[in-house]
Structure 1
Amino acid sequence: MNTIILDSNSNEWNNYLGNINKSFQDIYYTSGYYNLYEQNGDGKAKLFICKEGNNLAIYPFMLNEIIDYKLGGKYFDIESAYGYGGPLVNTDDKIFLNNFENEFLTYCNEENIIAEFIRFHPLIKNERIFNKNIEVLHNRFTVYLDLAKGLDRIWKEDIKSKNRNMIRKAEKSSLNVEINSEYNIFKDIYSKTMDKVKASEYYYFSEKYYREINRTKNYILLNIKKEDITISSAIFIKYGDYFHYHLAGSLQEYLKFAPNNLLIWEAVKLACESGAKYFHLGGGVNNSLDDKLFKFKNSFSNNIADFYIGKRIHNKEIYAYLISEWEKKNNMKSKILLQYRY
């Protein structure tokens, strides 16, 4: 078995992705996407590759060195970039898949990687490729649209009647829709929304982040305006068979005009025109079907997917030490796998 590890600036990264089944290829696996989050400070982007004959497996992740714990050597952890990820394979050959996982576990041991966190892809359903010493947990539900149905059927069959009424209300409120590239306006609205929901500092992306996504055709910025004021704005991503609802924000004082309902409906139109097969709206802020954000997205489609996460500890002794030190320092119990980072 041939094993290769690439950095995000490698010209070969996307060539390997291109040899995976087209229905599995998504933005979250590209070198450009991982490079974006490397520049955002999320770690060093890596692609782990295994080849054997015609069989191929790839696995992108962010590699981070663990600092400030006096470990007496270099230790690391890994996780999927923001969004979705996990391994992709072009075969169901059980022997190859077993060898691929063994090669990866050996790599983690040799490189002093102590823990691994994976956000699996809800539509690709890749949460069962890894099965050794890994805890796979259902995190929440996500919503998606089957765009093959076409716009008319989506309007009649998927979008709930109350939502259709809200969209009509928005249209009657003289709201205007525009595709734009003014990310400063989006950033302002998005930041206010993050303030409102008391989001962590991570979700306040930098100017550089917005400049980088503005350079690629995969990102679409859609605005809803009331007269000359942008009152709702969202970034969508189109890649291959997938159209994603990425980031969004709206002004609280204008929500009575239902701008977000109109915004998503206009995005549905764009998604249908784009040639994508699926529009993935994502999930809510937790795993409850009564979550407000989930219910809003669910009003556009009854198609629900399962989002899984994976947790794997490669060095239990060092991991236990890190968690113990964090808990002593913060006088509280840890709640997440990579808690010692925060």
Structure 2
Amino acid sequence: MAVPTKQAVPDIFFTPEWNEAYAAHEGGEFQQFEWQSDFGHIIYPFIKRPVPLLDGWFDTITAFGQSGPVIIEATEGQRRALVEEFDAAFQEYCDQQHIVSEYIRFSSWVKNAEDFFPLYGLDMRGIVMYIDLTVEDPFRYEFSSAARQQVRRALKNGVTIEYDFTGETLDDFYRLYGLTADRNEFPDHYLFEHGMLKNSFQGLKGKQFLLNAKFEGNIVSSALIVHHGDYMHYHLVANDPEYFRCAGNSLIMAEACNYGKAHGFSQLHLGGATNDALYRFKRRFTKTEPLEILTGKRIRNMEMYGKLTELKRLQFDIKNPGHFPLYRA
């Protein structure tokens, strides 16, 4: 175990700032396990959560987004040996800290699951889509003709774009996000406390901003953009359904690409596509093939996992037997 390092990490979801900001959303506290040896360097940010039903026991989950253990550097030919060292050390840490199980949302674009998949049971959880910002002109080469038409329509209708790097317009975003969540019946995991988002503008200063589309002086669409390293993320989006005709969301997407190109980012990630309508919408903005979303699970204390699962079964029954860990089903 180590104090979170300032070592460069590949994406925002691996940073201490991100994990600290989103720890409460996962119901725990940010921890980071760090392993260094002659074979290389691994960091593993995660959220340590109290286990329900029994005091003194914990499990881990990666923060909202995609991260997990990642190799920062490795001696040539020694990646496997490095991972094995890390696993043995982390098992010892789990024994000491009474950690029962792990759940990891691996990074689809960093592809860290490729190094760690022998240690974890992997599940494919859908796809994530992104815009390739390395092409000469994403608007021309990534956007479909329908998407380009939407952007031109927004400009013709007088929709404008406003940047907010401090969170001054967060109240407007939060109101629209509530409308979007209600309309699309977002699950609880996609509902965020206003105070948490407000505080994130301090903790993630320089790593996030709001892009607002305005029509006749009103914010009609808004997106929370986060970024680090080579990657930008279209993290959260909010729209006023009364102004869908303004195509503000499409204009935001085009402006995000402009920002990304100007600041040297290589990819703009659009998130997953949990239904056909969302897939069709996001597909209009990219011709790049989607990436797989992979999650990993690991039981670190089999005996206690069994006891907790039986307690859950006896007290509340297990309504979703496919859930991991089962004692949270």
Deviates more, 1:197-206 or 1:25-34: 197-206
CA shift for structure 1 position 133: 5.1
Q: For 1:229 and 1:126, how far apart are their aligned partners in 2?
A: 42
Amino acid at match of 2:154: A
Contact 2:131 2:268 in 1 (8 A): yes
CA shift for structure 1 position 76: 0.7
Query: Structure 1: 5+ residue runs without aligned partners?
Result: 7-12, 19-23
Q: Tell me which residue corresponds to 1:162.
A: 146
- SS of 1:209 mapped into structure 2: helix
Contact 1:142 1:294 in 2 (8 A): no
Distance 1:339 1:228, change over 3 A: farther
- SS of 2:220 mapped into structure 1: strand
Q: Tell me which residue corresponds to 1:276.
A: 265
Q: Tell me which residue corresponds to 1:230.
A: 219
Contact 2:39 2:81 in 1 (8 A): no
Map 1:306-317 to 2 at 5 A: 306-317=292-303
Q: Tell me which residue corresponds to 2:2.
A: 5
- SS of 2:161 mapped into structure 1: strand
Contact 1:121 1:307 in 2 (8 A): yes
Query: Structure 2: 5+ residue runs without aligned partners?
Result: none
Q: Return the match for 1:56 from 13, 36, 41.
A: 41
Distance 1:158 1:60, change over 3 A: same
Amino acid at match of 1:176: T
Q: For 1:165 and 1:299, how far apart are their aligned partners in 2?
A: 11
Map 1:262-301 to 2 at 5 A: 262-285=251-274, 291-301=276-286
Contact 2:212 2:219 in 1 (8 A): yes
Distance 1:83 1:14, change over 3 A: same
Contact 2:132 2:142 in 1 (8 A): no
Q: Tell me which residue corresponds to 2:287.
A: 302
Distance 1:185 1:85, change over 3 A: same
- SS of 1:118 mapped into structure 2: strand
CA shift for structure 1 position 52: 0.7
Q: Tell me which residue corresponds to 1:10.
A: none
For each residue in 1:22-51, what CA deviation from the matched residue of structure 2 results, as whole angstroms up to 9, or x when unmatched?
xx5211111111111235463111111111
Amino acid at match of 2:67: G
Q: For 1:55 and 1:326, how far apart are their aligned partners in 2?
A: 41
User: Over aligned residues, Cα RMSD in angstroms?
Assistant: 2.1
Provide the identity percentage.
28
Structure 1 position 245 matched with structure 2 position 201: no
Q: Tell me which residue corresponds to 1:36.
A: 21
- Count of aligned pairs: 318
Distance 1:125 1:331, change over 3 A: closer
In the superposition, the TM-score normalised over structure 1's length comes to 0.86
Distance 1:282 1:41, change over 3 A: closer
Q: For 2:50 and 2:145, how far apart are their aligned partners in 1?
A: 51
Q: For 1:249 and 1:330, how far apart are their aligned partners in 2?
A: 37
Distance 1:172 1:326, change over 3 A: farther
Q: Tell me which residue corresponds to 2:179.
A: 192
Q: Tell me which residue corresponds to 2:122.
A: 136
Distance 1:324 1:302, change over 3 A: farther
Q: Return the match for 2:56 from 70, 74, 78.
A: 74
Q: For 1:142 and 1:134, how far apart are their aligned partners in 2?
A: 21
Q: For 1:123 and 1:331, how far apart are their aligned partners in 2?
A: 34
Q: Tell me which residue corresponds to 2:102.
A: 116
Distance 1:308 1:131, change over 3 A: closer
Structure 1 position 254 matched with structure 2 position 251: no
- SS of 1:128 mapped into structure 2: helix
Q: For 2:218 and 2:200, how far apart are their aligned partners in 1?
A: 23
In the superposition, the TM-score normalised over structure 2's length comes to 0.89
